[in-house]
Structure 1
Amino acid sequence: MSQPQPPYSSHPSGLTPDERTWGGAAHWSALVAAFVALAFLGPLLVLLLKGPSSPYVRRQAVESLNFQLSMLIYATVSAVLVLVLVGFLLLAVVGVLWLVFTILGSVRSADGGEYGYPLTIRMVS
């Protein structure tokens, strides 16, 4: 007798395709939500909708949410520093870092990996 075939959802990381999709959505939803200048809303929605059903999705959503809130703080401080001209450079740096790290997080988590953002203030656990 042969053993039953593992379900379609098996992946080398042990995550279902749905978990990998929502884990990636926790990161790329920030890119979508940034169009209304509230990038933290995407990860927050993923955390509230799918976080309770999957520890992986919750970890990714919390990581992304913390990063988005941290970048919001950094951008606000940079905007205030525009008054002393150094803020223009800081705003550009914060914007590039936000874009690059958010894309990296999206790709890594969609592949089923863990992604930890640098420069993150841990506010949500």
Structure 2
Amino acid sequence: MQKTDNQFLMLTHLSQLAHFVFPFGGLLAPLLLWQMKKDEIIGLEDHGKEIMNFQISFAIYAIISSILIILLIGIGFLFVIALLTVIFPIIGAVKAANGEFYKYPLTIQFLK
């Protein structure tokens, strides 16, 4: 039986900040939380897909920006990407805590 757990949804969004603790943590932590509890928590499937889409999209943006460093414009893009990978998960966590779904801006929808 599924249950509503806004705190777990919030934790899933905040787990993206794990990339500051260990490599690929921002991708692996929410993925593990999502896969472990997706059948137990209402809405986790949608939140998990949105988080994964955000992580994949911003990894692609970071790779492209790293290549653009050669043209000296990639440094600014990397700074913006780093800032947004902190701001957007916090906004998503606040929305999830309030029982709302947060659609991450600038995200390519790989998982639907």
Structure-2-length-normalised TM-score: 0.88
Q: For each residue in 1:51-106, what CA deviation from the matched residue of structure 2 results, as whole angstroms up to 9, or x when unmatched?
A: 12234111111111110111111011101111111100110111111211111001
Aligned to 1:28: 14
Partners of 1:112 and 1:65 in 2: CA distance: 19
Question: Kindly, what percent of the aligned residue pairs are identical?
Answer: 33
Aligned to 1:5: none
Partners of 1:61 and 1:25 in 2: CA distance: 11
Distance apart, 1:37 and its partner CA: 3.0
1:96 aligns with 2:96: no
Note the aligned Cα RMSD (angstroms).
1.5
Q: For each residue in 1:12-47, what CA deviation from the matched residue of structure 2 results, as whole angstroms up to 9, or x when unmatched?
A: xxx63xx21221122101102442231111221122
Unaligned runs of 5+ in 1: 1-14
Partners of 2:85 and 2:77 in 1: CA distance: 12
Aligned to 1:123: 110
Aligned structure 1 segments of 4 or more residues deviating by more than 4 angstroms: none
**Cα gap change, 1:42/1:57 in structure 2, threshold over 3 Å: closer, same or farther?**
same
**Larger relative contact order (CA 8 Å, sep ≥ 6):** 2
Unaligned runs of 5+ in 2: none
Aligned to 1:11: none
Bigger drift between 31-40 and 19-28 goes to: 31-40
The amino acid that maps onto 2:102 is Y
Partners of 1:21 and 1:34 in 2: CA distance: 21
Q: How many residues align?
A: 109
Structure-1-length-normalised TM-score: 0.79
Partners of 1:91 and 1:32 in 2: CA distance: 18
**Cα gap change, 1:24/1:64 in structure 2, threshold over 3 Å: closer, same or farther?**
same
Aligned to 1:59: 46
Q: Which structure would you say has the larger Rg?
A: 1
